Amino acid sequence: MEGTIAEDERLADSPLVAKIRRVRFHADTREMALPDGSWDLLFVRRGDGPVTVIQTGQISAPLAVDNRAGDEVLSIAFKPEVYLPGLPGRLMLGQGVVCPVGRDGRFLIGGERFEIPRFDNAEQLVAALARQGVLERDPVVLRALQGARQRLDERSIQRHFAEVAGLGLKAFQQIARAHEAAALLRLGRPASQVAAELGFSDQAHLSHSLKRLLGQTPKAIAKATPPAPT
């Protein structure tokens, strides 16, 4: 897809956000959105039309997204422990909800209205969402992702993940391991070595996991330019 998109991506100055991405499409393009442990707020402008605001949930398999020449998309990817109490991950898995935009250009989410952000000031929106209680951070999910011991049994932790993120802890670990494997393959590491190093039972297990989560075989990943997770 060389030359068909112009992309900027950066880390955020907010503990609630994984990354911020802006894409301009110069030609009709199909992107593959990959599971990456984040859910997004998307600000989509189709051609010269108005901005559409979409809250997306976690995904557990690759998802094809079609864009047309002239489209622009700004995405704020939130960390898995961050959620909207009114629409938690349990209700948003594999879903997208359009947030109404008023005549004043402000969009409605969580019962409050906010300014549509730019790429360079998205953190201001995130801070406003948190200040108004639209966003919350679940400490159980955060500590489990960090590997910290908790006074909760595994079933309770799984319930927190299912409610907050829509996916279980094991699913997040599998997604993270798949992306780690893909990164090693792109560095030229043999698939058999990657499988052994990351705890896959064998090379076939590695291949199955990458095909299911990233939509590509180890051989294809090693040869291809990495797609951008969303």
For 41-87, the pLDDT digits (tens) are 999 999 999 999 999 999 999 999 999 999 999 999 999 999 999 99
Residues 43 and 124 occupy one common structural domain? yes
Structural domains in the chain (count): 2
Residues 126 and 182 occupy one common structural domain? no
| Domain contains 193 | yes
Binned at pLDDT 50, 70 and 90, residue 151 comes out as: confident
CATH number where 215 lies = 1.10.10
179 is in which domain, residue-wise?
A: 173-223
Residues 6+ apart with CB under 8 A from 170: none
Residues 125 and 19 occupy one common structural domain? yes
DSSP secondary structure letters along 44-102 = EE-TTS-EEEEEE---SS-EEEEE-TT-EEEEEEEPTTEEBTTB-HHHHTT-EEEEPB-
Residue 229, pLDDT > 60, answer no
Residues 118 and 177 occupy one common structural domain? no
